[in-house]
Structure 1
Amino acid sequence: MFDFHHSYAQLPERAHARLDPVPVAAPRLVAFNRELAAEMGAEGIPDDAMLAAVFSGNTVPAGARPIALAYAGHQFGHFVPQLGDGRALLLGEVVDASGRRRDVQLKGSGRTPFSRGGDGRAALGPVLREYLVSEAMQALGIPTTRALAAVTTGEPVFRDTALPGAVFTRVAASHVRVGTFQYFAAREDFAGLRALADHVIARHYPQAAQAQAPYEALLEAVVEAQAALVARWLGVGFIHGVMNTDNMAVSGETIDYGPCAFMDAYDPGTVFSSIDRNGRYAYANQPPIAQWNLARLAEALLPLVDETPAAAVERVTPVVHGFAARFERHWLAVMRAKLGLASAEESDAELAQGLLDRMQAAGLDYTLTFRALAEAAGGAPAPAGLDGWLHEWRARLGRDAQSPEERVAAMRGANPAVIPRNHRVEEALAAAVEREDFGPFERLRVMLAQPFDVDADTAAFLAPPVQPDPRYRTFCGT
């Protein structure tokens, strides 16, 4: 079905472990992304039974060479020198119609040498959550891993209780993480570290190879990609929930949708993750945490930047410190688009923050408030609770060159109407897990594919819950 390549497998053997998936009892295909498969050049797509066999791991497709990847990572600030793919296998890489190299990975495919006592399996609920949210992020225009398939296994997995098992197939620009660099650096494996860095440069940032200091240029490119990514997260009210260094892809894609969620009412301190008890990864903490993670990447790269440690630190420090300015630039670009501003003024950051402050004070819904502003720019009633600020905003619009029609169209394209509302996601997961009813999942998937459109079909998916649950928590999929 795919023409597999294996550039990552050319790295030293200590970077990965070769093994096949563990077969499951009764695989059943519940979702398959045919559009993505076609984009990746799939030929001769088989029937659902064969797709279920392939994407459960029961049948290893021709040309695939499954490997589990090694990496380390800081988890909630504490370094773990060996993590790795404990329940995932990279089947190989596919060069798509646009010439992009993309990984195809099974999640939930059984134990690996990195399982650390885990069962190597995944439950259906987290698999469907990742499918829905990653594809929603794609539709929102945010760099992300993609969902290719979801298969139930016919076997239970045991967490707090018995749950239906599933396998998720993920597509990514790559699965190299900050923690992958940390894995080699912690072992003082400088040959492996250099091989990994050269691989990432060739795959993601080829311009760095031409720089006078290529590894410093690599760091700068990753810093820029992460600054842009996190700014776009904040623009849609997304909270990753577990921004450990092993969950930060150096490609600049969003990866590992575990306890992720979207805000309803705006509150910068919003936390949904059940394991983030101190709010380390709260909504507003995501930019400084991204910078903290990038400092860990810089530390790992020090031996490649300069053979003298002090000189290496001196060279990478301004690159890491530069994250804040880069993030601010991207965040302002996001907020200007959301506010309907085509030009730039120095006071725009203050205008945007003023809106957020009023939204927080009034308990306004993040997504619906910005969407309502898009309509208000064309003469519709403005959202309540923004008195005073609206006068400032309208005065700012008056200094902008766009026509009202151009502004409304641009704002509708920058402010989604449909997001993966937590209560809607939970309804879809509960129906699938508890009743084997995948209808709600499929309806939500279709709605999330067109987040900027509003019609009679989408109306029911726009609103926040009637009675928000302040105790709502999301959970890791492990």
Structure 2
Amino acid sequence: MPLSPQAYRPARPLIEIADFLADPVEAADFPQTVIRFRNDRAAAEIGLETLTDEEWVAHLGRFQPLPDTLPGPMALRYHGHQFRQYNSDLGDGRGFTFAQMIATDGRLLELGTKGSGQTPYSRFGDGRLTLKGGVREILATEMLEALNVPTSRTLSLIETGEALHRGDEPSPTRSAVMVRMSHGHIRIGSFQRLAFERDEAGMKRLVAYVLRHFYGEASDDPVRLLTLVAERAATLAAHYMTAGFVHGVLNSDNINVTGESFDYGPWRFAPTWDPEFTAAYFDQTGLYALGRQPEAIQWDVMQLASSLRLIAESEPLIAALEGFATSYLAEIVTAILWRLGVTPRGGTEDRALVQSFERALRTSQAGIDRVYFDLFGGQVPDHYDDTWSELRDLIEPYAPRRARDHAYWQGEPESMLIDEVEAIWAPIAERDDWTMLYDKVARVRVMGAALADPDAAA
């Protein structure tokens, strides 16, 4: 098998905690396997880009074990709050983790699935993924990666030849199995299950595992873990807001302790700055609306703190929780200045600039992506009205983070609004034409290159 000898570095630390965290499962036997998307750019980080298509299907569609990593798929166990209601009947119901490896940057990466078949946690589900759901996840992860949002990445999408029936889209519809690449798949809900079961030994082992393999620290201190997760979660919340992205389902079983966004269902990007904008039709109270996302993610981190009380005192956990707000306020400034393409100056000037930008964006109801595109590098265009006059003065002293010399700036801004998502899906559904999807991915990657820091783009 032509695995890259320089980049393929298999690992298997999940075995250390599988006895209380996961169950061995088998993938479904699909009637067909047709590659629809293979992300060789991401695969190169773990030495899989050299696989032939046949080998790609064998390992990422039929799930034959990759050499020297996990011996087989493992469905993770967890509980969680779903729209603030505790549910102890959860777990990987249509996915599993099946491989771990050390990436070219030295960090642990895991391969997990969506749509790979039933598990002990499927309940009444069929364990499958619609092809449209897989296409939507490709679009979400590619756009978020380009916008510098911490996210899982879609490594593979393979059509599997089954007819699925769903209540929220025309049926029967086509099926697929997707592979995502993430630095870990352990959720806040994994800790909630251990707390629910009063498993102190398991909780201590899981804390030490996450600190060692996800954060690179040789520690078993639950307060330290909460501090780090709160910082990462705050960073994620800030980047969601900067991108105008609404995940849609910020339940505690959907919050990864690595601070990476993942598991994209009813997501949407907001066209304008509307704090009440929601993604899910079933979010009737707006619990996870655009403007409530920081609070929602902080609430989930509080559930981690509550779970860790099984092995830690309350007072230091409460102190660690307070770091979320501090981290969020700092990171929202950093994230917005990054997307505006200006170099931070430090101190109160940066915060004043961001506050002025947020006011103008909200008042003008201008398109979010259009505004970031026009202002990149620190220049407010002359045709912008008086709503932007304060920002024009505040941003004038700022140096560009990078020049607008990339070809991307000669065109139009890329967005990922729902109408375009549906337009990309339509030719796939109607005539199996994937051109629009592949073209969109290519354009989004061009945008990502134009936005990236100069040293990252080199």
TM-score (norm. length: structure 1): 0.85
Counterparts in 2 of 1:330-345, with a 5 A limit?
Answer: 330-339=331-340, 340=342, 342-345=344-347
Counterparts in 2 of 1:190-229, with a 5 A limit?
Answer: 190-207=200-217, 209=219, 214-229=221-236
Residue equivalent to 1:352: 354
Does the Cα contact within 8 Å between 2:207 and 2:221 map onto a contact in 1?
no
CA 1:406–1:206 in structure 2 vs 1: closer, same or farther (change >3 Å)? closer
Residue equivalent to 1:423: 419
Structure 1 stretches of 5 or more lacking a match?
306-311, 455-478
Deviations 1:311-365 (A, max 9, x none): x111111221231121011112223344536313536545433433333333211
Residue equivalent to 1:83: 90
Residue equivalent to 1:36: 42
Residue equivalent to 2:129: 122
Structure 2 stretches of 5 or more lacking a match?
451-458
- Kindly, what percent of the aligned residue pairs are identical? 28
Out of 260, 280, 283, the position equivalent to 2:267 is 260
Residue equivalent to 1:52: 57
Distance 1:279 1:409 in 2: 41
Out of 356, 361, 368, the position equivalent to 1:366 is 368
Residue equivalent to 2:320: 319
Deviations 1:245-267 (A, max 9, x none): 01111011111111111111221
Distance 1:349 1:229 in 2: 19
Tell me which amino acid in the other structure corresponds to 2:346: A
- 1:170: Cα distance to partner? 0.8
Q: Secondary structure at the match of 2:382?
A: coil
Does the Cα contact within 8 Å between 1:29 and 1:52 map onto a contact in 2?
yes
Deviations 1:261-306 (A, max 9, x none): 111122111112122111111111111111111110001111222x
Tell me which amino acid in the other structure corresponds to 1:36: A
Out of 385, 395, 398, the position equivalent to 1:397 is 395
Distance 1:378 1:275 in 2: 40
Q: Secondary structure at the match of 2:75?
A: strand
Does the Cα contact within 8 Å between 1:208 and 1:217 map onto a contact in 2?
no
Does the Cα contact within 8 Å between 1:269 and 1:279 map onto a contact in 2?
yes
Q: Secondary structure at the match of 1:316?
A: helix
- 1:11: Cα distance to partner? 0.8
- 1:101: Cα distance to partner? 1.4
The alignment status of 1:178 with 2:188, answered yes or no, reads yes
Out of 435, 438, 443, the position equivalent to 1:442 is 438
Counterparts in 2 of 1:405-420, with a 5 A limit?
Answer: 417-420=413-416
Q: Secondary structure at the match of 1:42?
A: coil
Deviations 1:184-225 (A, max 9, x none): 11110111111111110111223362xxx8211111011111
Does the Cα contact within 8 Å between 2:374 and 2:380 map onto a contact in 1?
no
Residue equivalent to 1:26: 32
Give the paired residue count.
Answer: 435
Tell me which amino acid in the other structure corresponds to 1:334: A
Bigger mean CA deviation after superposition, 355-364 or 268-277: 355-364
Does the Cα contact within 8 Å between 2:152 and 2:181 map onto a contact in 1?
yes
The alignment status of 1:102 with 2:98, answered yes or no, reads no
Distance 2:299 2:369 in 1: 28
Distance 2:139 2:401 in 1: 33
CA 1:164–1:393 in structure 2 vs 1: closer, same or farther (change >3 Å)? same
Distance 2:41 2:360 in 1: 41
Does the Cα contact within 8 Å between 1:417 and 1:453 map onto a contact in 2?
no
Q: Secondary structure at the match of 1:150?
A: strand
Counterparts in 2 of 1:136-155, with a 5 A limit?
Answer: 136-155=143-162
CA 1:246–1:405 in structure 2 vs 1: closer, same or farther (change >3 Å)? closer
Deviations 1:99-135 (A, max 9, x none): 2211112211110001111100000011111122112
Bigger mean CA deviation after superposition, 150-159 or 50-59: 50-59
CA 1:60–1:287 in structure 2 vs 1: closer, same or farther (change >3 Å)? same
Q: Secondary structure at the match of 1:114?
A: coil
Bigger mean CA deviation after superposition, 436-445 or 134-143: 134-143
- 1:374: Cα distance to partner? 2.7
Q: Secondary structure at the match of 2:447?
A: coil
Does the Cα contact within 8 Å between 1:109 and 1:167 map onto a contact in 2?
yes
Does the Cα contact within 8 Å between 1:28 and 1:153 map onto a contact in 2?
yes
- 1:59: Cα distance to partner? 4.2
Tell me which amino acid in the other structure corresponds to 1:430: A
Deviations 1:399-453 (A, max 9, x none): x363x7967679x99xx93232322222112222333211111111111112257
Distance 1:269 1:240 in 2: 13
Residue equivalent to 1:381: 382
- 1:233: Cα distance to partner? 1.4
CA 1:51–1:428 in structure 2 vs 1: closer, same or farther (change >3 Å)? same
Does the Cα contact within 8 Å between 2:9 and 2:46 map onto a contact in 1?
no
TM-score (norm. length: structure 2): 0.88
Q: Secondary structure at the match of 2:374?
A: helix
Counterparts in 2 of 1:441-460, with a 5 A limit?
Answer: 441-452=437-448
Distance 1:379 1:10 in 2: 54
Distance 1:293 1:268 in 2: 20
Does the Cα contact within 8 Å between 2:380 and 2:392 map onto a contact in 1?
no
The alignment status of 1:246 with 2:253, answered yes or no, reads yes
Tell me which amino acid in the other structure corresponds to 1:421: L
Distance 1:285 1:147 in 2: 27
Distance 1:379 1:440 in 2: 32
Out of 1, 22, 38, the position equivalent to 1:16 is 22
Does the Cα contact within 8 Å between 1:378 and 1:408 map onto a contact in 2?
no
Distance 1:235 1:55 in 2: 33
Distance 1:401 1:98 in 2: 32
Residue equivalent to 1:467: none
Does the Cα contact within 8 Å between 1:223 and 1:294 map onto a contact in 2?
yes
Tell me which amino acid in the other structure corresponds to 1:439: T
